[in-house]
């Protein structure tokens, strides 16, 4: 056995000696080429050495006491490495601890409330249809309509495809094209998802959310909701409705809408998730969400959530979300009007519908009240999405942002002051769980403290 080892070692040594001798012989020949007698070979050797310097990288390292020489081609494709953080991302990271405190406080509040209430033992189909899960990043999202759900569903589409592109590249009307919910998951799979995922949702002040839902779905031209909800509201809460109103549902007032919400939540009749409490949609005491985002701090919460899931690369593509959201809203408004323009005619004139669209933009704080709708009756049929978005953006750019913010608040109060206090209290009771779970004020003085206004409202 020892002889076999010696012979093997000898062959190994001889093999390496041949390699060393060959390398040494090549080196000697190269040095000889620099003699005066071999100018041609000297030139060739210089060219070869220069090519090696240009094409190759040579590094020397010491790993665990063993020295090594590594030769690599310079132009070989290397594995990609994460880009260096930009200053704005570093700033987000430094602010993380401050937002962590807010997120923790929201979660603790939810836990405190849930300890005093019994959670639903089973998930409803409504819950499962609103849950969206990404297996790779272990992220579970519950989307609440009128609370940033279109944004998150589009962003999750990009994350699912592992494409670092802005969610605004997907048009709002296509936000649900690739939407996958958990309606078909087994109870066992749901339990695993809840145990091994980070769960988040977005809440919103119920008063703001309801007004936004009314303006988007019933006040501004929306034939689908006029047919599915508007007709029902007119028949349910308007005593002497005309046949046109009963068959169109196009002229629902905000007071009638609020009465419908109260009645539907009380009786369970004709409920719609756009106008339902977020607690009913997401069942937070059952899910025990890790992150409760809020629309009031949306742009900061988005960054916090992306950092939590180590998706910082998406921060760059959603930079300046306020402006992007405004552009997104402007496009959505224009697209919806143009696409429904023909169907609107059976219930109201297209120009009257366009005036409502303009008012919607004013209520949302995008267009100033000082700017009247610039489109004339004879221009309505030729309006395109591009023309509308261009005119609206021009109106937005000409206005003061602070003035638009004040205007939005003023119009919000104008709508709610149309609601008698007894009706408003019933609405507050209907959404009590949302106020309690997410920390919003149930009876804000700005809505409930009225001095000598009840007679005027009545």
Q: Strands 139-142, 198-203: parallel, antiparallel or unpaired by DSSP?
A: parallel
Average pLDDT for residues 350-359, to the nearest whole number? 96
| Assigned token pair, 413 | 């109060």
Q: What is the DSSP string of 164-190?
A: ---GGGS-GGGTTTT---STT--HHHH
Q: How far apart are CA 413 and CA 444, in angstroms?
A: 12
Q: Give the total residue count for the chain.
A: 458
Model pTM score: 0.77
Q: Of 54, 50, 55, which Cα lies nearest the Cα of 73?
A: 55
When mean pLDDT is compared across 306-320, 342-356, 398-412, the lowest value belongs to 306-320
> Can you say how many angstroms the Cα of residue 245 is from the centroid of all Cα atoms in its chain?
37
pLDDT (0 to 100) of residue 70: 45
Could you report the per-residue pLDDT of 259-288, keeping only the tens digit for each?
A: 999 999 999 999 999 999 999 999 999 999
Average pLDDT for residues 295-303, to the nearest whole number? 92
Could you report the per-residue pLDDT of 402-438, keeping only the tens digit for each?
A: 999 999 999 999 999 999 999 999 999 999 999 999 9
| Assigned token pair, 86 | 């930009």
Q: CA angle 434-205-292, nearest 5°?
A: 65
* pLDDT class of 184 with cuts at 50, 70, 90: confident
């Amino acid at each position: 056995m020892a002889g076999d080892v010696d012979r093997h070692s000898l062959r190994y040594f001889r093999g390496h000696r041949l390699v060393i001798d060959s390398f040494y012989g090549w080196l000697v020949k190269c040095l000889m080429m620099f003699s005066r007698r071999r100018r041609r070979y000297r030139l060739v050797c210089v060219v070869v050495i220069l090519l090696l310097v240009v094409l190759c990288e040579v590094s020397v390292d010491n790993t665990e006491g063993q020295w090594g020489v590594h030769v690599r081609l310079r132009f070989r494709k290397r594995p990609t490495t994460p880009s260096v953080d930009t200053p704005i991302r570093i700033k987000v990271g430094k602010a993380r601890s401050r937002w962590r405190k807010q997120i923790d406080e929201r979660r603790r509040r939810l836990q405190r409330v849930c300890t005093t209430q019994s959670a639903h033992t089973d998930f409803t189909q409504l819950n499962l249809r609103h849950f969206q899960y990404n297996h790779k990043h272990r992220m579970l999202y519950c989307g609440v309509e009128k609370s940033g759900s279109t944004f998150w569903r589009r962003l999750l589409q990009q994350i699912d495809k592992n494409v670092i592109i802005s969610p605004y590249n997907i048009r709002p009307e296509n936000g649900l094209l690739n939407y996958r919910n958990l309606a078909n998951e087994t109870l066992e799979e749901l339990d695993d998802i809840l145990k091994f995922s980070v769960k988040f949702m977005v809440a919103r002040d119920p008063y703001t959310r309801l007004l936004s839902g009314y303006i988007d779905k019933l006040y501004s031209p929306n034939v689908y909701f006029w047919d599915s909800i508007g007709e029902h509201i007119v028949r349910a809460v308007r005593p002497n409705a005309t046949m046109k109103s009963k068959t169109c549902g196009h002229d629902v007032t905000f007071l009638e809408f609020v009465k419908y919400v109260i009645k539907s939540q009380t009786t369970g009749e004709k409920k719609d998730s756009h106008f339902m409490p977020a607690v009913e949609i997401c069942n937070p005491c059952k899910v025990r969400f890790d992150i409760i985002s809020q629309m009031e701090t949306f742009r900061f919460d988005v960054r916090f959530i992306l950092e939590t899931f180590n998706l910082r690369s998406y921060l760059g593509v959603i930079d300046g979300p306020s402006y992007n959201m405004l552009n997104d809203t402007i496009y959505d408004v224009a697209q919806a009007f143009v696409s429904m323009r023909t169907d609107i005619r059976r219930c109201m004139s297209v120009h009257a519908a366009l005036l409502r669209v303009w008012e919607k933009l004013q209520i949302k704080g995008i267009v100033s009240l000082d700017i009247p709708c610039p489109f004339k009756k004879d221009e309505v049929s030729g309006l395109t999405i591009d023309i509308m978005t261009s005119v609206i953006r021009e109106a937005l750019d000409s206005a003061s942002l602070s003035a638009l913010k004040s205007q939005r608040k003023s119009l919000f109060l104008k709508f709610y002051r149309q609601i008698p206090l007894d009706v408003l209290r019933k609405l507050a009771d209907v959404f009590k769980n949302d106020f309690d779970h997410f920390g919003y004020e149930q009876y804000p003085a700005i809505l409930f403290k009225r001095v000598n206004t009840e007679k005027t409202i009545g």
